[in-house]
Amino acid sequence: MTSAPTPGSDPRKDSLIEYPCLFPIKVMGLKVEALLPAVIETARQHDPAFDAERIELRESRGGNYLGVTIHVTATSRAQLDALYVALSGHPLVKVVL
């Protein structure tokens, strides 16, 4: 059971992640042209310094799905949570890890 942060505590110190850091996120979705631009746009909304050159792509065995690994500069848990919610809510995205 985790305890809630106490008033005045620094949530960055209550995390296992040391912010800021480069944080990998894997997005899996339908293999369509619109998936990659949607992932890039969403990443840039949450990380203005997002570098699309670092993207790793991996096709599913059947060729119907695409795995997209991005690396964002994580600055807080709230930022990562918002990014996960935005990516998960996209209609082309099936899984966000």
State the distance between the two ends of the chain, measured CA to CA, in whole angstroms. Answer: 23
DSSP-derived pairing of the beta strands 56-59 and 21-30: unpaired
HSE (CB half, 13 Å, CA atoms) of 79? 20
Query: Is the N-terminal amide bond of 91 cis, ω within 30° of 0?
Result: no
At 56, is the secondary structure helix, strand, or coil?
strand
Q: Which residue has the tokens 């099936």?
A: 94
Q: What is the pTM of this model?
A: 0.83
Angle between helix 77-88 and helix 35-46 axes, rounded to 10 deg: 160
What is the average pLDDT across 4-27? 75
pLDDT for position 12 = 47
Q: With bands split at pLDDT 50, 70 and 90, how would you rate the model's confidence at 14?
A: low
Q: In the predicted model, is pLDDT for residue 74 greater than 60?
A: yes
What's the confidence (pLDDT) of residue 7? 57
pLDDT score recorded for residue 8 = 58
